[in-house]
Amino acid sequence: MNEETTEKAAIGPLDIKRVLAALPHRYPMLLVDRVEEIIPDRSIAAIKAVSFNEGFFQGHFPGRPIMPGVLIVEALAQAAGVLAVESLGLAGSGKLVYFMAIEGAKFRTPVEPGVLLRLEVEFVQKRSSVCKFAGRALIDGKVAAEANFTAMIADPPSA
């Protein structure tokens, strides 16, 4: 049986309620506003609406607002978290997706207020508790940033 016949059907779009069910992040750290499409066990396309009202623009940089690169990578990681949680059937389980490594991050163009940042992430490797991803953030179809990263799926810390 080839991969084409065993692949799960694409799902989406997912609204903010479904994103909140998949991720523990909340304001001001939630960086995924909508999921356009998930192909379980393969990829996700999500959207971050970059607004001038976000707090980091006050200091990064006055007179030339640019979304910090580390937050672009975090947005990619959150999209990957949604992909992992949805692919592994973990929504509502309380499991968390933790960064383990970031490799090859490259920033091609500044991300300014007023854009829709498209987050495209693919599984590179998937195991029961450790996953590797490749991600790209795009503005109008052009790559603004890219990175490879590894994440671990774990139970939340006990209180």
Look at residue 101 in the predicted model and tell me its pLDDT: 96
Task: Say what the pTM is.
Answer: 0.92
Look at residue 90 in the predicted model and tell me its pLDDT: 87
For residue 82, give the nearest of 27, 24, 9 by alpha carbon: 24
The CATH classification of domain 3-154, taken from the options 3.40.50.620, 3.10.20.340, 1.10.10.10, 3.10.129.10: 3.10.129.10
What is the dihedral angle through the alpha carbons of 136, 4, 97, 119, rounded to the nearest 10 degrees?
20
Look at residue 156 in the predicted model and tell me its pLDDT: 84
Look at residue 5 in the predicted model and tell me its pLDDT: 46
Decide: 52 and 68 in contact? Cβ < 8 Å. Answer: no
Active site residue 25: no
Look at residue 102 in the predicted model and tell me its pLDDT: 97
Look at residue 6 in the predicted model and tell me its pLDDT: 60
What is the dihedral angle through the alpha carbons of 28, 18, 71, 85, rounded to the nearest 10 degrees?
130
Q: What is the pLDDT along the chain (159 residues), one digit of tens a residue?
A: 444 446 688 998 999 999 998 999 999 999 999 999 999 999 999 999 999 999 999 999 999 999 999 999 999 999 999 999 999 888 888 888 999 999 999 999 999 999 999 999 999 999 889 999 999 999 999 999 999 999 999 988 887
Look at residue 1 in the predicted model and tell me its pLDDT: 42
Residue of 60, 95, 126, 136 marked active site: 60
